[in-house]
Amino acid sequence: MMAHKYTALHHILTHATNILVVAHSRPDPDTIGATTALFHYLAEHEKSVTLTCADPFPQGFDDFLPPYTLTPTQDVNFDAFDVIIGADNIDRGFHSIINTINPHNHVTVGIDHHPHTTLHPDVLITNPAASSTCEILYEFFTHINHTPSKEEASALAIGILGDTRIFHNPNTSAHTLDITAALVDAHAPLTRIIKQAFLTKRLATLHIWGSALKSARRLTPSGAIVSVITHDIIRDKNIPEEELKEELKEVASLLCSVPHTPFALVLIQIDEHTIKGSLRAEKSTHTDTAAIAQLLGGGGHRLASGFEIRGTLRSNGDTWQVV
């Protein structure tokens, strides 16, 4: 089923003149890896290609990525492109481009592993069984007999490592590991990427972790562990919101690994009136955290989900209240 879509994409790219590659807003390692790998592949094949994102790429991955230039989305003249490709989480950012342009003037392509996209680009390549968009892109490269360069392989590895949380998440399949092995064969410096791009922590981040871990409490009777990060803790740290959200997920993952914990919830007061929540569960618990997140207007996967509510965290002795 995927093969004919890969053939269609190859045909589109071969005949394209000007290609726009779109990373999703508030970019994560998967969209960064996928779009820079695609950008590099197209540039190497003498295509005129522009890479865009509504937000800047976070630092920390550039040592491993192919050389790229990122054009802020507000500076892009969409009329100049005959092909526009969104890679990863295409409901975040790419949707506003698709809804702005004249559909008759462009071929649009979406590549994604998220199951519930509401977008209808001309070609939609989705595979919910894939760990990441980078995994799908690797399969596309394989289909067209393109062996990734060292930099492309590194970019794809960054996406897989990011979305599997270094092979901790249950979306890590045998196939994911096979692909990662192939990327190492293609000279991606896997252990160096893990250490340098994923396992380094800023001191400010560790302070937030310390505070979150200290506040962790087990709720009765559910046994769930809840932790809060108040606004005082993050106010002067100058950590971008996207990075804070990533930390929130990591703390929740750590807390849910405590034995006999059906799920972990970490709440963070992101600004005076907004609280973000991150829910995590281990597979063996059979908890559906997405159902909990949905009750609070959020969503996600069974084992990893999140939500955002308006309110303020207030300490109430040993417990916390949202007011």
Q: Which stretches of the chain bind Mn ion, using CB under 5 A?
A: 30, 88, 132-133, 163
CB of 283 vs Mn ion, minimal distance in Å: 19
Q: How far is the CB of 31 from Mn ion (least distance, A)?
A: 7
Residue with Cβ nearer Mn ion (87 or 208): 87
The H-or-E segment that residue 262 falls in is none
Residue among 171 and 289 whose Cβ is closer to Mn ion: 171
* Alpha carbon distances (Å) from 159 to 36, 93, 154, 292: 10, 18, 9, 28
Q: Tokens 């894939």 correspond to what residue?
A: 130
| Nearest CB to Mn ion, comparing residues 73 and 164 | 164
At its nearest, how many Å lie between Mn ion and the CB of residue 163? 5
What's the min distance (Å) between Cβ of 169 and Mn ion?
A: 11
User: Is 139 or 163 the residue whose CB approaches Mn ion more closely?
Assistant: 163
Nearest residue to Mn ion, by Cβ distance, number only: 30
Output 169 or 227, the one with its CB closest to Mn ion: 169
In order, the DSSP letters of 159-193 are HHHHHTTTTTSTT--HHHHHHHHHHHHTT--HHHH
Q: CB–CB of 160/134 below 8 Å?
A: yes
Q: State how far the alpha carbon of 106 is from the alpha carbons of 41, 79, 261, in Å.
A: 21, 8, 50
Q: Closest distance between Mn ion and the C-beta of residue 15, in Å? A: 28
Nearest distance from residue 94's CB to Mn ion, in Å? Answer: 13
Task: Please name the residues in contact with 242: beta carbons below 8 A apart, sequence gap of 6 or more.
Answer: 26, 27, 28, 55, 58
For residue 35, give the nearest of 16, 50, 55, 45 by alpha carbon. 50
Nearer residue to Mn ion within complex by CB, 163 or 226: 163
248/228 Cα distance (integer angstroms) = 10
Shortest distance in whole angstroms from residue 159 CB to Mn ion? 7
- In order of 17, 90, 164, the CA distances from 71 in angstroms are 18, 18, 28
Closer of 88 and 151 to Mn ion (Cβ) = 88
**DSSP line for 67-88:** P--EEEGGG--GGG-SEEEEES
SS3 at position 307: strand
Nearest residue (CB) to Mn ion, 132 versus 253: 132
- Other C-beta atoms closer than 10 Å to the C-beta of 72 total 11
Q: Of 311, 301, 228, 314, which Cα lies nearest the Cα of 264?
A: 228
Please report where in the chains the tokens 């004919």 appear, as a residue. Answer: 4
Shortest reach from residue 131's CB to Mn ion, in Å: 8
